Structure 1
């Protein structure tokens, strides 16, 4: 039986606080629930206009197309401020996290336009695509975040394996880091999603 290597460890000051992990998972679960409810109500305009998505009121004349992007940016900013165990007062971190561009982001219509099978397939393809990368881009992370927020659960064995490989990839990239930057923040988000939300850290 082949021996599975341990998940790579990183410098302690780059790890997220447990308190942040719990808050992040609560927000992520809330986003998943909101997307699920919105999809269930997609055919009823009155329900869409009266719904609240992740504590944000909907516009009276359009869907919140960039809700995933906005939530992602908010979580990124929140982690910069409070998630790391010993980030210190590095002035270089101020405003160091670039905002995502809606032009290439996974909008609500794109995500809800996919059926359940397409979302899982796209998630696996995105995970496969990042395996050979030496660094994670903002677009890579945003698409992975959005697809993880939209896939149905429980996930099948192949998707579990893909999420486990993403966890290991993110952990390996983070292990090569010595200083906090926006990539570390994105890696922490994906490690928490794969490891804690989808339960792959114990596999």
Structure 2
């Protein structure tokens, strides 16, 4: 950890701060400026590990635009698409929401590509004094990102072999990705918990049994 410019604790605060700012700021220029450095750093430190994050962000763009088109399409006329007028507030709302998601995704991608799960656990426990359970949960969540990327690639390969589109465009196609990913992640989390308990990991300390409870057990 000493060879890194940011310790895991400082990196976590940095990621958390930018995530909070993403929800507060409404300037497209500022949000874009927050995305670019984190995007470049995450690709530099772990291109294969985090590429799927940006693929999912791009996949979300059509849905975000449709939402802006239906609920925020007013203001001055900007352009016309297929005979439908597109107003300035629609474009602005789309960019703000899309860039907010891009900020959160790029910051998370940088964090997970820059630190190993063990560095995250030790940093959160020693630097920020997080409880062991929370530190482990955060590290495990980031550890899942490259595994989900691998699962995502395998599902995409199967879809291409069966003649389907590699990337989902409809809600039904999206579920063909989401359902298996959720099922695999649940199974992985369950067996990870079992394995950690077998290795002696406990979130609760040992509780002393009172003399009354001990007498009850002896009956």
TM-score range, shorter chain: under 0.3
Larger fraction in helix: 2
TM-score scaled to structure 2, two decimals? 0.21
TM-score scaled to structure 1, two decimals? 0.22
